[in-house]
Amino acid sequence: MSDITYHREGDLPAINKGVRGGDVDAYRQHFITHFDSARGIGNRVESVRLNPTFVTPRHRHVYDQIRYVVEGELKYGDKRYGVGDFLYFPEGVFYGPQEGQTVTLVDIQFTGPSGVPYLNQDDLARARKEMAEGGTFEAGIYTDSQGRKQDSYVALTEYITGKPVEYPSARYDDYVVVHSNEFPWLKSSANDGVMLRALGTFNETGPDVKMLKLAAGAELPAAAIPFQQARFIIDGAVEYSGGEYPAISFTYIPPGTEFGVTRANIETTMLVVTWSYVGGPTILSGPSF
């Protein structure tokens, strides 16, 4: 049995890397990461709490990202998203600007279908510290000692890699918004006491996104699948390997890793995101629940 397990938000340190604008509580992350260079795997799985001082300009990334609104309201420009909204930000697609929100999210950033590596968080922290000695990070922008301004993450990426950022060609015109509360709950054909919402599958590598509702006492069986998977406890509580994990708790399961039985202690809602990697198995419709 693997030592992979769930992580309670409160058991992980609250981190603000200071890359975007705002006060000390502007961007509070509780996260876990996983890197496997042999298979081109890199990701960050986390909960995020933003206050109204958090600021980002309109920008894009070389990786994929998923966000799900747990509490409050998420704002991008004049667009507003509420509890239960799931947003998929494909690599190379612009979004933002962002400011003035009080919101709690669960979030994943991961290597997209182009295979551009996702940067190690330790490298980002080191680069941010070194770059702050010769410039400033403010409102999502880095200004160097010569007055040149760049998006903070672009500046960090170029500092770490030593070359200009090259964005993958965008497969989508815009980011994707799914209002999960408008989807019906369907009875699982594989597991008693489990209902599901299939929210979407994208690209040959994924992500595949599902919501699960487990009745008290219902179980997800032990399994090992050839994909990566992240699970978030949105509400309720589960038991895993003798421990109890309430909202917000989450786990990351590497491909091929056996994960044990998850049992709902009370009625529990989970967000489950499954994705592959470049050269890995095609995701198609994702795993069954």
Domain ranges of the chain: 7-161, 183-275
> Among 10-24, 33-47, 147-161, 261-275, which is the least confidently predicted range?
10-24
Q: Angle at the Cα of 79 (from 175 to 66), degrees rounded to 5? A: 35
Q: In the prediction, which pLDDT does 1 show?
A: 37
pLDDT at 17: 76
Structurally, at CATH architecture level, domain 7-161 sits in: Sandwich (2.60)
Q: pTM higher than 0.85, yes or no?
A: yes
Beta strands 228-235; 74-76: pairing state: unpaired
pLDDT digits (tens, 9 = 90+) for 232-244: 999 999 999 999 9
Instruction: Specify the CATH architecture of the domain 183-275.
Output: Sandwich (2.60)
Q: Is the pLDDT of residue 102 over 90?
A: yes
Phi, psi of 38 (to 5 degrees): -60, -35
- The pLDDT of residue 285: 67
CA distance 128 to 47: 21
Cβ atoms 74, 101 nearer than 8 A: yes
199 near 271, Cβ under 8 Å?
no
Model confidence at 124, pLDDT cuts 50, 70, 90, reads confident
**Could you tell me which residues are beta bridge partners of residue 79?**
76
**Spatial distance between the Cα atoms of 129 and 229, rounded to a whole number of angstroms:** 32
Q: pLDDT, tens digit, for every residue of 166-192? A: 999 999 999 999 999 999 999 999 999
As given in the structure block, the two tokens for residue 198 are 């299939």
- Check for a shared fold between 7-161 and 183-275: yes
What does the pLDDT look like over 243-264, one tens digit per residue?
999 999 999 999 999 999 999 9
Q: How far apart are CA 50 and CA 67, in angstroms?
A: 13
